[in-house]
Amino acid sequence: MTAPAKILVVFGTRPEAIKLFPVVAALQDDPRFVPIVCVSAQHRQMLDQVLAIAGIVPDHDLDLMRPDQTLDGLTAALLTELGRVMDAEQPDRVMVQGDTATAMAGALAAYYRKIPVDHVEAGLRSGNIYHPWPEEVNRKIIGSIASLHFAPTEVSEAALLAENVPADRVLVTGNTVIDALEWVTMQIELFPELASGLFDLEERFAGKRIIGVTSHRRENFGGGMESIAEAIRQIAARPDVAVIFPVHLNPNVRRVMNAALEGLDNVALIEPLDYPHFARLLSIAEIMLTDSGGVQEEAPALGKPVLVMRETTERPEGVSAGTARLVGTETNRIVTEIFTLLDDKDAYENMARAHNPFGDGTSARRIVERLGNEIGR
């Protein structure tokens, strides 16, 4: 009898964990595979929250997060430590997700050992290596290394084919974030206490129209972040509006937001939310204002319009479908777009009812089936 294939699943941030835990669960349920989980802890606290709710205990925890870490220092540490894990485990394949430094270094360390790499959420491209930065280059590096490319949409597939990736190496799977969101939403319905930390805010802002905000993108640090903060201040001045903003731990975000928004009656600056609480925020928000990639996929699954505070997006499917709109970081533009959705019912409904192009909740199963075919070869 053939031994199960060892799949080393590498991730380090909260978004990676959210998008990979459905795949880890599917691998665990399939006797053809033995998943080995290695986390870099690129996001320590936020990562641990997802691991806890998903019931994942890492086989290797590198704990590489350091204060004010440089990208080159982080990358060097990742490459060295992930290589050490691969040498110890001798996996048959390495799986990475998305576009983080952890994913890029994991793919590169595997390539140095001639281990095939499977890329979940492959093919996202903005066409600008500095937007988002450094993610655009990270995912292009992974794309040049990967053996299997699990593209979330046909647009991502087309981007890979345009880069001469062989068609039989690409599979359109949908995005695993929809698998994760459906699972956690069901868990909250069964166990409301999982998201009880927002009960007080829901009571405090009863009757108000809630705007959910997330912001952490590196290219927005400095002037962009200051413009975003001013826009939020003006939006929150409306008496019918409340803003709930889980503030990223990065001091480049916290300094700006605390200085501009702390103490405002209609603004709740709160600590980063674990996954169930964030899913609940998506549920109660009327609009999501974000520079995140994942929110562009998650919010439309719940019928929530997304205004994206970036100049470009590697998820143009949402813009094309009408679920998302690029608004940049200029204060007046953000405020105008928010007020349009608040005051124009047709404009709001056109976005809220648009088809979500990012998946149907069965992406992890498609990925594991394709892996099974691959090892069968």
Q: Summarize pLDDT for 310-322 with one digit per residue, the tens.
A: 988 888 889 999 9
Question: Quick check: is 344 in a domain?
Answer: yes
Is 90 exceeded by the pLDDT of residue 359?
A: no
Tell me, yes or no, if 68 is annotated catalytic.
no
- In whole angstroms, give the CA distance from residue 215 to residue 253: 8
Question: Quick check: is 236 in a domain?
Answer: yes
CA nearest neighbour of 238 among 193, 268, 208, 201: 208
H-state helical runs in the chain: 14-28, 44-54, 71-89, 101-112, 135-145, 154-162, 176-190, 199-204, 223-235, 251-261, 275-284, 294-301, 316-321, 331-343, 345-352, 363-376
Q: What is the mean pLDDT of residues 194-207?
A: 95
Question: Quick check: is 253 in a domain?
Answer: yes
Please check whether residues 107 and 245 belong to one and the same domain.
Answer: no
Is 70 exceeded by the pLDDT of residue 63?
A: yes
- In whole angstroms, give the CA distance from residue 359 to residue 318: 12
Question: Quick check: is 190 in a domain?
Answer: no
Question: Quick check: is 191 in a domain?
Answer: no
Is 80 exceeded by the pLDDT of residue 127?
A: yes
Q: What is the pLDDT of residue 181?
A: 94
Query: Is 374 in contact with 150 (CB distance < 8 Å)?
Result: no
Bridge partners (DSSP) of residue 348 are none
Question: Quick check: is 90 in a domain?
Answer: yes
- End-to-end Cα separation, the chain, in angstroms: 16
CA nearest neighbour of 180 among 357, 24, 33, 355: 24
Tell me, yes or no, if 99 is annotated catalytic.
yes
Residue 20 CB-half CA count within 13 A: 30
CA nearest neighbour of 235 among 215, 255, 253, 209: 209
Q: Active site residue: 14, 119, 248, 277, which one?
A: 248
Domain membership of residue 225 as a residue range: 196-352
Reduced DSSP (H G I as helix, E B as strand, rest coil) percent helix, strand, coil of the chain, to 5: 50, 15, 35
Strands 241-246 and 324-326, sheet pairing: unpaired
Q: Active site residue: 135, 136, 157, 311, which one?
A: 135
Predicted TM-score (pTM) of this structure: 0.86
Please check whether residues 200 and 161 belong to one and the same domain.
Answer: no
Please check whether residues 219 and 85 belong to one and the same domain.
Answer: no
Q: What is the pLDDT of residue 377?
A: 59
Question: Could you identify the residue written with the tokens 């704990």?
Answer: 63
Question: Quick check: is 206 in a domain?
Answer: yes
Please check whether residues 225 and 368 belong to one and the same domain.
Answer: no
Please check whether residues 245 and 266 belong to one and the same domain.
Answer: yes
Please check whether residues 158 and 262 belong to one and the same domain.
Answer: no
Please check whether residues 135 and 267 belong to one and the same domain.
Answer: no
Is 90 exceeded by the pLDDT of residue 204?
A: yes
Please check whether residues 245 and 169 belong to one and the same domain.
Answer: no
Please check whether residues 13 and 36 belong to one and the same domain.
Answer: yes
Q: What is the pLDDT of residue 68?
A: 80
Please check whether residues 59 and 165 belong to one and the same domain.
Answer: yes
Please check whether residues 225 and 89 belong to one and the same domain.
Answer: no
Please check whether residues 62 and 170 belong to one and the same domain.
Answer: yes
Q: What is the pLDDT of residue 1?
A: 59
Tell me, yes or no, if 216 is annotated catalytic.
yes
Q: Tell me, what CATH number does 243's domain have? A: 3.40.50.2000
Q: Active site residue: 32, 209, 218, 370, which one?
A: 218
Q: What is the pLDDT of residue 222?
A: 81
Query: Is 321 in contact with 290 (CB distance < 8 Å)?
Result: no
Q: Active site residue: 30, 99, 297, 298, which one?
A: 99
Tell me, yes or no, if 248 is annotated catalytic.
yes
Helix, coil or strand: residue 59: coil
Q: Active site residue: 119, 139, 216, 280, which one?
A: 216
- In whole angstroms, give the CA distance from residue 352 to residue 63: 40
Q: Which residue has the higher pLDDT, 294 or 23?
A: 23
Number of domains forming the structure of the chain: 2
Give the number of other CB atoms < 10 A from CB of residue 54.
18
Question: Quick check: is 123 in a domain?
Answer: yes
Is 90 exceeded by the pLDDT of residue 94?
A: yes
Is 70 exceeded by the pLDDT of residue 123?
A: yes
